[in-house]
Amino acid sequence: MVLIYKKRIVSYRYTVFSRYIDPEENRVIFVDDDGNELDEFGDPVHKNITELDEYGDPVSPQKGPEAGTVVFEHMVGDKSKIMEVIEPKNILAVLDPNEAVPEELKPNRSMSMTVLSKKSAHKLIYIDKQKRVCIYFHPSDNFISTLRKTLNK
C-alpha cells in the first residue's frame, strides 16, 4: 500500500502600485542600472520614435493601474487568485494592529487575507458598493510605509 500526501501551501500576496515622482520635472521616471530611462513596464524608452498601429495612427501608451491601487491575492501552492482590487479613491483608512477602528468607520463586513491571527493584523478599510469593508492582513514594514506614502494617509 502506497500513501501519497500532497501538502497545499496557502498564503496571501499583497501588491500596491506606487510610483515615485521626480520633483524637478514633476513626472514619473523609471531608470535601469545603467541609467537608461524605462517605461512603466520596464521596457527602454525610445525617444523620437512613434509607434504606429495597423492603420498608421500613433499608438497611445497603455495606462497602468492608478498609483495607490492595492491587490490582494490568495495563493495555493504555485497558483494565485485575485481576491480584491481596491482603487485608492475607495480606501478610507489603513490601521496598525494596535489601533482600534473608529466608530465612524465601523465595517459592514470583514475579510481575512492572512493565515495568522486577526489580533496582530493590520486593517485596511475601504468602500465597496456603498458598504464599508475591513480586510485583515500581515504586510511587511516596507509594504505599509510604501502604501502610506502613496496614499498620503
CA distance 30 to 41: 9
Mean pLDDT of 111-128: 93
Question: Quick one: pLDDT at residue 134?
Answer: 95
pLDDT tier at 61 (50, 70, 90 boundaries)?
Answer: low
C-beta neighbour count of 65 within 10 angstroms:
15
| Confidence at residue 152, expressed as pLDDT on a 0 to 100 scale | 82
Q: What is the mean pLDDT of residues 47-54?
A: 62
What is the reported pLDDT for 21?
47
* Set of cell numbers at residue 55: 492603420
In the prediction, which pLDDT does 30 show? 62
Q: Who has greater pLDDT, 99 or 66? A: 99
pLDDT tens, residue by residue, 31-50: 665 666 676 666 766 655 56
Does pLDDT of 68 surpass 80? yes
pLDDT at 138: 94
pLDDT band, very low/low/confident/very high, at 133 (cuts 50, 70, 90): very high
**What is the 3-state secondary structure of 98-138?**
CCCCCHHHCCCEEEECCCCCHHHCEEEEEEECCEEEEEEEC
- Residue 15 reports pLDDT greater than 90: no
Average pLDDT for 20-37: 56
